[in-house]
Amino acid sequence: MSKNNQLRADLQQKFEGRILQIEELYDCLVVEISPVDLLATADALKNDALLSFNFLTLLGAVHYPESKERELCLVYHLHSWKNQNRLRIKCYFSIDKPQIQSLTSVFETANWMERETFDFYGVEFQGHPNLKRILNMDSMDYHPMLKQFHLEDETREDKDDRFFGR
Amino acid sequence: MKQGRIRTIAFLDDKKLCMMNVGNDILLSNGQVLSRETIDGDIATINFGPTHPATHGIFQNILKVDGEKILSSEQTVGYIHRAFEKLAERRPYNQIATLTDRLNYCSSPINNLGWQMTVEKLIQAEIPKRVDYMRVIMMELARIADHLICNSVIGVDTGALTSFFYPFTEREKIYELYEEVCGARLTTNMGRIGGFDKDFTPVFHQKLKAFLKSFPKAFEEFNSMLERNRIFMDRTQGAGSISSERALAYGFTGPNLRATGVDYDIRAMHPYASYEDFDFIIPVGVQGDTYDRWMVRQEEVRQSVRIIEQAYANIPEGPVHADIPEFFLPDKKDVYNNMEALIYHFKIVMGETNVPVGEVYHSVEGGNGELGFYLISDGGRAPYRLQFRRPCFIYYQAYPEMITGSNISDAVITLSSLNVIAGELDA
* A56 neighbourhood in chain B, CB within 8 Å: 251
Question: How many residues make up chain A in this entry?
Answer: 166
Contacts of B90 in chain A (CB under 8 A): 151-152, 165-166
* CB nearest B387 (choices: A25, A26, A58): A58
How far is the alpha carbon of A132 from chain B, nearest alpha carbon, in Å? 11
Please say if the pLDDT value at position B8 is more than 80: no
Taking CB atoms and an 8 Å limit, are A165 and B92 in contact across chains? yes
Task: Give the mean model confidence (pLDDT) for residues B359-380.
Answer: 91
The per-residue pLDDT for B128 is 92
What's the pLDDT score for residue B377? 92
Please give the distance of CA B171 from its chain centroid, rounded to a whole number: 16
Q: What separation in angstroms does the CA of A6 have from each of A2, A30, A42, A82, A104?
A: 6, 14, 19, 14, 29
| pLDDT of B4 higher than 50 | no
Is residue B14's pLDDT more than 50? no
- State the pLDDT confidence band at B160, using cuts at 50, 70 and 90: confident
More confident residue, B67 or B253: B253
Domains (ranges, CATH) in chain A? 2-107 (3.30.460.80)
Confidence of residue B5 (pLDDT cuts 50, 70, 90): very low
A62 contact residues in B (CB cutoff 8 A): 376, 384-385
> How large is the average pLDDT for residues A6-27?
85
Q: Is B211 helix (H, G, I), strand (E, B) or coil?
A: helix
pLDDT tens digits along B45-79: 888 878 887 778 888 889 888 888 888 888 888 88
pLDDT of residue B10: 39
Query: Between chains, do A151 and B374 touch, taking CB under 8 Å as contact?
Result: no
pLDDT tens digits for range B272-287: 989 999 999 999 999 8
Overall average pLDDT of the B360-368 stretch: 92
The pTM (predicted TM-score) of the whole model is 0.89
What integer is the mean pLDDT of A3-17?
A: 84
- In this predicted model, what pLDDT tens digit does every residue of A42-81 receive, in sequence order? 998 999 888 889 999 999 999 999 888 899 999 999 999 8
Among the listed residues A102, A118, A121, A100, the one whose alpha carbon sits nearest the alpha carbon of residue A110: A102
Amino acid at B251: G
Measure the CA–CA gap between B277 and B149, rounded to whole angstroms: 28
Residue B177 has pLDDT above 90, yes or no: yes
The B25-27 sheet, strands edge to edge: B6-7, B25-27, B33-34
Q: Mean pLDDT across the stretch A6-24?
A: 85
pLDDT at B41 over 80: no
Among B83, B372, B382, select the one facing A165 at the smallest CB separation. B382
Among chain A residues, the shortest Cα distance to B88 is held by A151
Contacts of B52 (CB under 8 A, 6+ apart): none
Chain B CB within 8 Å of residue A54 CB = yes
CB-based burial, A33-59: b 16+ in 10 Å, e otherwise:
bebebbbebbebbbeeeebebbbbbbb
- Domains of chain B, residue spans: 6-76, 84-389
Mean pLDDT of B2-24: 41
What are the C-alpha distances in Å from B23 to residues B39, B42, B311? Answer: 8, 12, 62
- Would an 8 Å CB–CB cutoff place A58 in contact with chain B? yes
Residue A63 has a pLDDT of 93
Residues of chain B positioned with their CB less than 8 A from the CB of A143: none
**pLDDT (0 to 100) of residue A166:** 47
Q: Which pLDDT does position B15 carry in this prediction?
A: 40
Residue B12: its pLDDT value, please?
46
Pairing relationship of beta strands B33-34 and B358-366 according to DSSP bridges: unpaired
Is A165's Cβ below 8 Å from some Cβ in B? yes
A58: nearest CB among B374, B426, B427: B374
Four-way CATH pick for B84-389: 1.10.645.10, 1.10.357.10, 3.90.470.10, 2.60.40.790: 1.10.645.10
Rounded Cα–Cα distance for residues B58 and B81 (Å):
11
Strands (E), B51-109: 60-66, 69-76
Contact flag B387-A151 (C-beta cutoff 8 Å): no
CB B371 within 8 A of CB B364: yes
Q: What percent of chain A has pLDDT over 70?
A: 94
pLDDT at B100: 92
Q: How far apart are CA A153 and CA A161, in angstroms?
A: 12
A144 CB-near residues (< 8 Å, 6+ apart): A120, A136, B83, B86
Element holding A3 (H helix, E strand)? helix A2-14
Residues 6 or more apart in contact with residue B422 via CB below 8 angstroms: B56, B57, B58, B59, B79, B80
